[in-house]
Amino acid sequence: MKILIFAVALLFMAMASVAWASDTGRTGSYVKPTKEELKMLLTPLQYKVTQEDGTERPFANEYWDNKREGIYVDLLSGEVLFSSTDKYRSGTGWPSFIRPLEAENIVSVEDRKLFVTRTEIRSRHGDNHLGHVFDDGPEPTGLRYCMNSAALRFIPREKLDEEGYGKYLSLFK
C-alpha cells in the first residue's frame, strides 16, 4: 500500500512540474496542496524541510555531489530554480549554487531562528523552504545558495524537452 501511495505521489509531482513548465506565461497557476495532501505526497524528510523549514544532513542527501548537466526545480511546483552550470563544490555537503537560474522564482526572507540573522530562500509560487544564501561564495557573485536536496527535483539535460523545460537546453551547448 505504501508503494502505491508513493507511486501516486511521484506521478502527482511529475504532473504538477510538467503543468508548471508548460505554463509559458509563468502566471503562478500552481495551487499548493493542503497540509494533509502534502503529508501524503512527501516523504517525512521532504515535509520537514519544505514545510517546517528543516535541514537535511550534509553529505547524506541526493544532490550534494551530483555532477550531471541539468536544472533543479521546486519539488512540488516545478518552478525553475537553479542550473548545474551555476553549481559548485562548496565543501558544505549540500548542493550549492552561485545564483538562481530564474531569480523571479526565489523569495528571500530574514531568518533569525538560530540566534544569528540568515537569509532563507523559498520558492515563490510553491512557498517551500529551499535553504539559505550566504555571502561566502565564489566570484563572480560571491554568493552561496546552499539548498536542501529534499526540496528540489533534478531534471537531467536529456529529459528537459520531455518534461516541458526545453527552453533551458541552450544552457548546455
Separation between Cα atoms, residue 4 and residue 7, nearest integer Å: 5
80 backbone dihedrals φ, ψ, rounded to 5°: -70, 125
Separation between Cα atoms, residue 77 and residue 142, nearest integer Å: 28
Residue 165 is classified by DSSP as -
Separation between Cα atoms, residue 146 and residue 130, nearest integer Å: 8
- Pick the catalytic residue from 41, 146, 151, 152: 146
Beta strands in 27-91 (DSSP E): 70-74, 80-83, 87-88
Residue 15 annotated in active site: no
Residues noted as catalytic: 146
